[in-house]
């Protein structure tokens, strides 16, 4: 700064007035106590003899800030890429690819199938899914005088990992042409949700027979919790202190998947999904209750029979505890031990497994719905369907 002349018009006071009050067009900066106040090119500036110009220091601060911002965004971008590549199951749109296209949040049931939805669904194999106007993966319901059998259940009834024409319900249509078959299965449902679904669709179907298809592998687990294995919240049946049974957890909290699919930012930014996951985990507690399975089966039986229909149970495998209850309650049942299943992703029935199930059910029904007499001798542990039917044959006549 050598060679600049001191000007009496440029002093600390005038410089500060110019800076704070904006009274002049002079650009002024605060300087250390050793600063000199000099006049240069018609403007009053604060020049630090020891440190140089203040604008230079401001430029360095801006550069540092810019570098920090770049580092932050680069780190966030890297984290976003890592989350997408690793593909954590907890950050997916749904249980499997295609889930969000055919299912949605439901405040009463937890989740429910979207009516008339169609999509590819990826489990152990890729299948095509088409829902009817009721949201069921089934043919469109029609007004018919034929007796109707409704199969109520979870992914085994829905047809996880098989095409629609490979399911046992479709095969039964060929074996029982005089009977209307309705497939009312929803993946992940527990017996509690199946009961609520049955009440919801009853007036549209009005079945003559309801067959509850019980999944031995996980239905009891589903019935004792308010969260399924994929993280969806659900209603649950609990026993109050006074001994009364009541449904709780309704309206069902929105799961992380609902935020993933309904919010554009969260849907497209996996870091936002991670934030939502943390919020949901912190906000909603998981609930565990005493196993209400037998009571739920009794509720479904009571509801069905109150409508003048018949009630049966199909078991994925033998289950001694539930079978003892069914025998005590004189509820007719059979099991499907030996049905071929996939080795992964829920061990659902293969097309061959569905064929075996259809064959056993066809023999159970005999000539049709008229052969069903639920008040007769119930199934016995280890007894084959044909043996049960033989035991009932005299009464059926």
3-state SS string for the chain: CCCCCCCCCCCHHHHHHHHHHCCCCCCCCCCCCCCEEEEECCEEEEEECCCEEHHHHHHHHHHHHHHHHHHHHHHHHHHHHHHHHHCCHHHCCCCCCCHHHHEEEECCCEEEECCCCEEEEECCCEEEEECCCCCCCCCCCCCCCCCEEEEEECHHHHCCCCCHHHCHHHHHHHHCCCCEEEEEECCCCCHHHHHHHHHHHHHHHCCCEEEEEECCCCHHHHHCECECCCCCECCEEEECCCCCEEEECCCCCCCHHHHHHHCHHHHHCHHHHHHHHHHHHHHCCCCECCCCHHHHHHHHHHHHHHCCCEEEEEECCCCHHHHHHHHHCCCEEEECCCCCECCCCCCCECHHHHHHHHHHHHHHHCCCHHHCCCCCCCCCCCCCHHHHHHHHHHHHC
Distance (Å, rounded) from C-alpha 25 to C-alpha 132?
75
Residue 260 lies in a domain: no
- Domain shared by 35 and 76, yes or no: no
Please give the mean pLDDT across all residues of the chain. Answer: 81
Q: Measure CA 358 to chain center.
A: 29
Q: How confident is the model at residue 267 (pLDDT cuts 50, 70, 90)?
A: confident
Same domain, 35 and 163: no
User: Does 166 map to a domain?
Assistant: yes
Contact between 176 and 368 (Cβ < 8 Å): yes
Assess contact for 389 and 365: CB atoms under 8 A: no
> Domain residues for 63?
56-86
Same domain, 230 and 295: yes
Residues 43 and 74 in one domain: no
Residues 179 and 80 reside in one and the same domain: no
Residue 153, pLDDT score? 97
Q: What domain count does the chain have?
A: 3
Return the minimum-mean-pLDDT range out of 256-265, 318-327, 358-367.
358-367
In a domain, 97, yes or no: no
pLDDT in tens, 25-68: 444 444 444 444 444 444 455 444 444 445 556 777 888 888 88
Burial label for 182, CB within 10 Å (0-12, 13-18, 19+), is buried
| Residue 18 lies inside a defined structural domain of this protein | yes
Q: Are residues 77 and 16 in the same domain?
A: no
| Residue 396 pLDDT greater than 70, yes or no | no
Do the beta carbons of residue 109 and residue 252 sit within 8 Å?
yes
Residue 316: its pLDDT value, please?
Answer: 96
Sign for the pseudo-dihedral over CA of 343, 338, 334, 127: positive
Average pLDDT over residues 219-227: 96
Return the pLDDT at 389: 35
By mean pLDDT, which of 142-146, 160-164, 201-205, 366-370 is the weakest? 366-370
**13 contact partners, CB below 8 Å, separation of at least 6:** none
Of 112, 361, 108, the closest CA to residue 213 belongs to 361
Spell 7-18 as b/e; 16+ CB within 10 A means b: eeebeeebbeeb
Whole-number Å distance between alpha carbons of 313 and 326? 9
Q: Is residue 145 a part of any domain in this protein?
A: yes
Q: Which of 207, 58, 29 is nearest to 10 (CA)?
A: 29
| Of 57-61, 124-128, 195-199, highest mean pLDDT | 195-199
Kindly list the distances between the CA atom of residue 125 and the CA atoms of 170, 284, 348, in Å, as whole numbers in the listed order: 19, 33, 11
Q: How far apart are CA 257 and CA 106, in angstroms?
A: 12
Q: Say yes or no: 297 and 208 in one domain.
A: yes
**Is residue 333 assigned to a domain?**
yes
CB 46 within 8 A of CB 28: yes
Q: What is the pLDDT of residue 366?
A: 63
Report the first-to-last Cα separation within the chain, whole angstroms.
118
In the chain, % of residues over pLDDT 70: 76
Evaluate if residue 97 carries a pLDDT over 60. yes
Whether 160 and 175 share a structural domain: yes
- Is there a single domain that holds both residue 371 and residue 238? yes
152 and 18 share one domain: no
Best CA proximity match to 34, nearest among 20, 43, 47 = 47
The answer to whether residue 359 is domain-embedded is yes
Share above pLDDT 90 across residues of the chain, in percent, rounded to a whole number? 54
Q: Are residues 45 and 77 in the same domain?
A: no
From CA 81, how far away is CA 259, in angstroms rounded? 20
Same domain for 315 and 375, yes or no, is: yes
pLDDT the model gives residue 388: 31
Question: What is the rounded average pLDDT of the residues 293-298?
Answer: 98
């Amino acid at each position: 700064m050598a060679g600049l002349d001191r000007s009496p018009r440029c002093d600390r006071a005038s410089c500060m007035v110019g800076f704070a009050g904006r009274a002049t067009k002079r650009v002024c900066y605060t300087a250390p106590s050793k600063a000199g106040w000099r006049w240069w090119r018609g403007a009053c500036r604060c020049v630090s003899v020891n440190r140089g110009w203040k604008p230079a220091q401001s430029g360095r601060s801006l550069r540092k800030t810019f570098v920090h911002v770049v580092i932050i965004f680069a780190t966030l971008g890297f984290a976003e890429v890592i989350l997408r590549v690793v593909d954590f199951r907890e950050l997916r749109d749904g249980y499997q690819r295609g889930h969000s296209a055919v299912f949605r949040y439901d405040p009463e049931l937890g989740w429910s199938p979207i009516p008339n939805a169609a999509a590819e669904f990826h489990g152990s194999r890729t299948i095509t899914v088409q829902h009817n106007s009721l949201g069921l993966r089934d043919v469109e319901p029609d007004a018919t005088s034929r007796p109707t059998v409704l199969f109520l259940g979870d992914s085994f009834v829905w047809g996880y990992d098989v095409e629609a024409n490979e399911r046992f319900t479709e095969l039964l249509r060929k074996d029982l042409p005089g009977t209307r078959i309705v497939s009312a299965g929803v993946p992940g449902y527990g017996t509690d949700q199946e009961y609520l679904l049955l009440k919801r669709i009853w007036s549209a179907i009005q079945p003559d027979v309801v067959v509850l298809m019980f999944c031995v592998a996980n239905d009891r687990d589903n019935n004792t919790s308010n969260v399924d294995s994929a993280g969806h919240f659900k209603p649950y049946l609990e026993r109050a202190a006074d001994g009364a049974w009541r449904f709780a957890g309704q309206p069902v909290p929105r799961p992380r998947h609902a935020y993933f699919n309904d919010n554009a930012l969260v849907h497209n930014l996996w870091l936002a999904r991670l934030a939502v996951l943390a919020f949901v985990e912190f906000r909603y507690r998981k609930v565990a209750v005493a196993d209400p399975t037998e009571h739920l089966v009794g509720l479904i039986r009571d509801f069905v029979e109150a409508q003048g229909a018949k009630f049966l149970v199909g078991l994925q495998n033998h289950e001694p505890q539930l079978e003892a209850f069914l025998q005590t309650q004189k509820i007719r049942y059979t099991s499907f031990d030996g049905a071929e299943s996939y080795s992964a992703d829920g061990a659902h029935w293969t097309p061959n497994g569905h064929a075996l199930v259809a064959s056993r059910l066809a023999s159970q029904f005999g000539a049709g719905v008229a052969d069903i007499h639920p008040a007769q001798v119930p199934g016995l542990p280890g007894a084959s369907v044909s043996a049960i039917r033989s035991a009932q044959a005299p009464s059926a006549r």
